[in-house]
Amino acid sequence: MSKKSVGFGRFLRRYIDDEVKFRKWLNLGIAFESFRRRRLPSRKARFLRIINSLAVEEIYYSLTGRETAWVNLLAPSELLLPLGINPVSAEGVSGMLASMHLEGFAISSAAESGIPDSLCTFHRTSLGASIKKLFPAPRFIMTSTIFCDGNLPTFKRISREYQVPFILIDVPRGRMKNSVGYVHSQLKEAIELIEEITGKPYPMNLLSDILAIERQTVENLSRVRKEMKSSYLPQELYEYMNALYVMHTLAGDIRLKDASEEFERDLIADRHEQKKILWLHIPPYYDNELFKIFSPKSKHTVVGNELMWDWLYPVEPDRPLESLAEKLVFNPLCGGAEDRWKLCADLADDFGADGIVHFTHWGCRQSAGSVSYLKKMFESKGLPFLELTGDCVDHTSEGAGQLRTRAQAFLEILEGRR
């Protein structure tokens, strides 16, 4: 998320039509960044150092030929960890390309292949990347239907482009208890297919171990959340993106548990005259005007993001598949606007938020559909609400002036509330 990323992207552009050289240089660049984050850590909070390192490592492993599966944000990636299969978020791939201003090539490739521009750019970019073969073929593709109607056609097309198996976990909307058995049976079928793909028996005991680690991580983060009424962890907006990718795809990873243990130690006390902001949905991934306005050094501080906290479910290691099915079915994003409101209202209360910002990503109908309801509900609680619209991936779409004007007007409202 810097001029260096954009500069490296400019260098890579000259090889965009040479698959071998593009991968070679991208691999070297990501390898260096992964090494730097692991071995030459910044002075950031320990939690953020681990999160930022893991976010790059996912991408790096997918470039090296290590066994990888492309997943969506809300796929049951826990199934992959016992086998040493690296889950890489397809949305994260799009974000990485956007950070280097390379998403345009992938979006154009998708358009030339007949992908409509009504599909969100996270999906168009990952599709275009697979069509152009910017990354090596994954072992297989796995997606759930949670939150996004575009998951099924997008990930099925990616599997076709790479000619690899496709695993779909269909999760009915409504967060209904009677859906658990249906999802549970699909998880069993997914494991059978993974066994066929890998040629190895599935180590269910290791899955239980993974869920035991995840349970500890959830307990750590739930405890920290209760302490954030008068404290916070300073983060750049792009670090919220890194966190939400890692916290979904590596939920049972021991390193994420270690990071969760650092979170509490990294908290700092609220500053005098500080205004705390809860961010809903996701911020743009590329360096943009909002990074400056909502910098952690600003007195208008983003203290939480909705998608860092939706996945926290107390999984039970002694019944791994049924527990994972419950986690998927009861995710707040699998419900209606009221379920989302309850999650967001609880976060606002826990974090002591003074205001709410919702960045509505173009093409994301599920998020946009509940904005009016959320705005009405938050304002009824006396919390100012700002909706910003734009694209989280396509850096050419940024209307910097408009974003700045609307954000500053909102901040003036916050300033007037003493």
Q: What percent of the chain has pLDDT over 70?
A: 99
Whether 180 has a pLDDT exceeding 70, the answer reads yes
pLDDT band at 403, cuts 50/70/90? Answer: confident
What would the DSSP string read from start to end of 250-280? Answer: TTT-HHHHHHHHHHHHH-EEPPTT-EEEEEE
Identify the residue whose tokens are 């606002």.
348
Helix or strand (DSSP H, E) at 302: strand 300-305
Q: What is the pLDDT of residue 418?
A: 59
User: Domains in the chain: how many in total?
Assistant: 1
Q: Buried b / exposed e across 133-158, counting CB within 10 Å, b at 16+? A: ebbebbbbbbbbbbbbebbbebbebb
Whether 45 has a pLDDT exceeding 60, the answer reads yes
Instruction: Identify which has the larger pLDDT, 190 or 296.
Output: 190
**Domain of residue 227, residue span:** 3-415
Q: What is the pLDDT of residues 71-93, one digit of tens each?
A: 999 999 999 999 999 999 999 99
**Which residues 6+ apart lie within 8 Å of 78 measured at CB?**
207, 210, 211, 214, 251, 252, 315, 324
Compute, in degrees rounded to 10, the torsion defined by CA atoms 74, 27, 102, 44.
Answer: 70
Mean per-residue pLDDT, 121-148? 94
Mean per-residue pLDDT, 306-332? 96
Beta partners for 166? 141
42-46, 166-170, 370-374: least confidently modelled range = 42-46
Q: What is the pTM of this model?
A: 0.94
Of the segments 40-49, 356-365, 374-383, which one has the largest average pLDDT value?
Answer: 374-383
Q: What is the pLDDT of residue 1?
A: 52
Helix or strand (DSSP H, E) at 348: helix 337-351
Q: What percent of the chain has pLDDT over 90?
A: 81
Q: What is the pLDDT of residue 120?
A: 92
Report helix, strand and coil shares of the chain as percent, to nearest 5: 55, 10, 30
pLDDT band at 41, cuts 50/70/90? Answer: low
Mean per-residue pLDDT, 175-194? 98
Q: What is the pLDDT of residue 3?
A: 79
